[in-house]
Amino acid sequence: MTRYASVIGIRPEAIAEYKRLHADVWPDVLKQIKASNISNYSIFLKEPENLLFSYFEYHGSDYEADMAAMAADPRTQEWWAVCKPLQSPLTTRRDGEWWAGMPEVFHMD
């Protein structure tokens, strides 16, 4: 299992809508997340900085292929099209990132 964390900004005026959407995530999106070998997925909100922090655990053997399958899923693409305009990517993110990846510097089981 590999842990992944990332961060992105959220537009202040979009917070209520983002919370509403994530209180009732589309079942097809949840199904695809699980099919992509992701579990223990959480998104946290830090106000007043308006940052979203995501954490998940990957249990598969080919992360790139699983993420490509998720990105190719039409329903997930629709979900992202709804969520992306609410977000504000960090200017310091790497090329190709929407959410900025964060390396793990400490863990305790």
Catalytic residues: 22
Residue 90, amino acid: L
| Residue at 34: amino acid letter | K
| Helices (H), ranges, 43-84 | 63-72, 74-83
The type of residue at 100 is A
How many whole angstroms separate alpha carbon 77 and alpha carbon 85?
13
